[in-house]
Amino acid sequence: MNFPRYSPFPSEWISFAIFFALILGFIVISELVKKYFDWPVERSRKLVHVIVGIMISISPFLFTTALQPVVLAIIFIVINTLALKSENFQAMHATERKTFGTIYFPWAFLILALFWWERPVTLITGTLLMTFADTLAATIGNTVKNPRVYRLWSDQKSLEGSAAMFIASYFIVLLTTLLLREYIFVYITTSQIFGLAGFMAIIATIAESNSKAGSDNFSVPVISAIAMDIYLVNFANDSILLLIGWTLLSCLLFIAAIKFRSLTGSGGAGAFLIGILIFGAGGLKWIVPLLLFFTLSSLLSRIGGKNKFNNLINYQKSSRRDLLQVLANGGIAVIIAVINFYNPSDWLYLIYLSAIAAATADTWATELGYFSKRNPRHILTLKRVPKGTSGGISMIGTMGTILGALVIGLSGLFFGLTLSHAILIAFAGIFGSLIDSLLGGTIQARFHCPKCKAMTEQRIHCDGATKHFAGFHLIDNDAVNFICTLSGAVIILIIIGL
């Protein structure tokens, strides 16, 4: 059934102009109310957030194509960026902490409008979760006198706020889906709508809790939209019990990983979400190689004990992965898995495995290279450098590179790939690891600690800021690792001639 759309004017650009003017009007009114009635800034910001969220959530009812909503999102990305930079319109963006939430939100809506316009119920649900559930979570967290606070990544959250996020998300998904289920792209029963609400509430709550500077304004609506489609497709394919089972198993798996210090809290939450998206999008065929990378790499990291970490303390690499390290190694993989979910292709599986092979090859090179009796040589100068130095290579580390890439390549044999495919994947992984070493030894940022005089890859050392002296300041080890996995994917593309 076609989604109901209402065109109050002959041209949708007239509707767009009025729509845009109304949003600007609400922002200006909120600014005036804050100024003349001495409203708290946070209250004004939340009011603007809710009003704008409601308006953009009804945009699928007003516009037949995504053109006007996309233009609207781009305009507000520009306006919000300029307002934040100039410190104008504080009712729109000012908070007690530094946040880019007002920029993340229009970016999220831009992504939703571009890719989910033909699935309006998903778009509306993702937008409403950010509009109401996140606002309620922040309100409850700030209202409770003695909240039980925690911090996964950077933003401080409270258990009370997260509970409010979960409950609000559950009912938003439940009510929205019940009201609009005749416009969902698959048929879903009432009982399964309750299951969908629970699944999405878990995903949205974890995405909201694991944020930095308001990044949940982007992660919550986008990840929730993908999660909703994944649940619905798995339900239609009669694999929903497997998805639910994996979700429960993932909780146990990553709680254990945090307990045994393989992951930080932010890393565990991020890995949980990545695992859900990849398993839901592709099943065992897609999740097994990633599990091999994570479990075997974690075991290798633990070999050598505390002395291993202490000897590498000046370097950014650590056996306990945080969210950025998880994204650096698994970000490309999850993007490819999601693309394959919406546009399936056999070639994408080769690209996916090559990205993981590159991450595995690089990780194993570092973990096994530690056990070399001699310090590694710099990949360009061939001079001896301390163990853990980015750009350093050794014989045993190179063996780890080859072995790690082969393990991932050969894992594809269990899912229908040929031996020649496995070898090509391993080659792409090895080459990606080589690029990692080249970048790590040339453009990766290096710092000097003023207190202990050590040369380090860390921005904070001896509880103080370090001074940049070499490489590009923005390119750290996480950025290099991300480029490594991207390189593995690009190399296999070149090899297979796509």
Q: For the chain, what is the mean pLDDT?
A: 87
Domain coverage including residue 355: 285-498
> What is the Rg, in whole angstroms, of the alpha carbon atoms belonging to the chain?
24
Per-residue pLDDT, 468: 82
CA distance 401 to 404: 5
More confident residue, 498 or 129: 129
Per-residue pLDDT, 141: 83
Per-residue pLDDT, 1: 61
Q: Is the pLDDT of residue 25 over 80?
A: yes
Q: In this prediction, what percent of the chain has a pLDDT beyond 70? A: 91
For the sheet containing 446-448, what is the strand order?
A: 455-456, 446-448, 467-470
Cα separations in angstroms, 437 against 277, 338, 372, 440? 30, 29, 17, 5
* AA letter at 71: V
Cβ-contact 140, 166 below 8 angstroms: no
Tokens of 134: 């996140």
* AA letter at 185: F
Q: pTM for the full model?
A: 0.91
CA distance 191 to 185: 17
Q: Is residue 131 part of a domain?
A: no
Per-residue pLDDT, 190: 92
Q: Is residue 309 part of a domain?
A: yes
Query: Which of 68, 87, 84, 86 has its CA nearest to residue 23?
Result: 68
310 Cβ contact partners less than 8 Å away, ≥ 6 residues apart: none
What is the per-residue pLDDT across 360-407, written as a single tens digit (0 to 9) for each? 999 999 888 888 888 888 888 888 887 777 788 889 989 999 999 999
Q: Is residue 477 part of a domain?
A: yes
Q: Structurally, how many domains does the chain consist of? A: 1
What is the per-residue pLDDT across 178-199, written as a single tens digit (0 to 9) for each? 999 999 999 999 999 999 999 9
Q: Worst-scoring range by mean pLDDT, 92-106, 280-294, 304-318, 355-369?
A: 304-318
Torsion of CA 52, 54, 60, 61, to 10 degrees: -120
CA distance 389 to 366: 9
What is the per-residue pLDDT across 240-287, written as a single tens digit (0 to 9) for each? 999 999 999 998 888 888 888 888 999 999 999 999 999 999 999 999
Q: Is residue 444 part of a domain?
A: yes
Cα separations in angstroms, 342 against 116, 310, 335? 11, 45, 11
Q: Is residue 80 part of a domain?
A: no
* Mean pLDDT score, 302-327: 67
Give strand pairing partners of 448: 455, 467
Q: Is residue 343 part of a domain?
A: yes
Phi, psi at residue 384, to the nearest 5°?
A: -65, 135
Q: Is residue 472 part of a domain?
A: yes
Q: Is residue 199 part of a domain?
A: no
Where does 37-158 have alpha helices with state H? 41-57, 59-62, 67-86, 90-93, 101-115, 120-128, 134-143
* Mean pLDDT score, 32-42: 68
